[in-house]
């Protein structure tokens, strides 16, 4: 667990205007990711004052927006990323998640495990892509990137 307050997100909000109806499974994944981020994260805005940070994430004009604020909610910087590099991995991730959730209801444990391995692999791919796209802007560890990727997927449903 990261205890250095200068490298922590202490508050995170998803722009609910960016989000449409989510399935119960997606809503559960989103809630777990939000909880896990606040419990343990490593996040540092490059070239800016240290945290703790408040983070707002949304999609605006087909771009991913990270609104990074200080602990007193003063804006530090907006980081805007194109969604284009994420499209394929998010689409593939959604497809395998749908298969996984359907499989839980009717397939054998070994078949479910195979789908879960594929799901985790795509999740890791999306997390690494996020870290690459944020390089030089935000430093994050893999676990924080994984949780943020989950939140991006939850936002991506509407876009």
Q: Contact, 47 vs 30, CB < 8 A?
A: no
- What are the tokens at 113? 């495990």
Q: Contact, 134 vs 140, CB < 8 A?
A: yes
- What are the tokens at 40? 């343990």
Overall average pLDDT of the 140-153 stretch? 91
| pLDDT at 8 exceeding the cut of 90 | yes
Q: What is the pLDDT of residue 159?
A: 40
Q: What is the pLDDT of residue 134?
A: 96
Task: Identify the DSSP state of 107.
Answer: S
Q: What is the pLDDT of residue 92?
A: 83
CA dist 60 to 1, 34, 74, Å?
A: 32, 20, 20
Q: Where are the domains of the chain?
A: 5-156
| pLDDT at 1 exceeding the cut of 60 | no
Q: What is the pLDDT of residue 41?
A: 95
- pLDDT digit string, tens, across residues 101-127: 777 778 777 777 777 777 788 889 999
Burial bucket for residue 129 (CB in 10 Å: 0-12, 13-18, 19+): middle
- pLDDT digit string, tens, across residues 22-68: 677 777 778 888 999 999 999 999 988 888 999 999 988 889 999 99
């Amino acid at each position: 667990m990261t205890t250095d307050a200068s490298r922590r997100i202490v508050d995170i909000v998803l722009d609910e205007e960016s989000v449409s109806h989510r399935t119960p499974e997606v809503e559960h994944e989103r809630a777990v990711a939000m909880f896990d981020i606040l419990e343990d994260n490593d996040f540092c805005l490059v070239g800016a004052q240290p945290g703790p940070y408040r983070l707002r994430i949304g999609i605006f004009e087909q771009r991913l927006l990270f609104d990074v604020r200080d602990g007193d909610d003063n804006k530090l910087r907006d980081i805007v990323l194109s969604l284009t590099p994420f499209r394929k991995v998010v689409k593939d991730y959604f497809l395998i998640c749908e298969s996984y959730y359907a499989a839980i209801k009717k397939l054998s444990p070994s078949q479910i495990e195979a789908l879960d391995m594929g799901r985790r692999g795509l999740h890791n791919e999306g997390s690494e892509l996020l870290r690459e796209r944020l390089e030089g802007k935000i430093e994050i560890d893999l676990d924080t990137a994984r949780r943020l990727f989950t939140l991006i997927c939850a936002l991506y449903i509407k876009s």
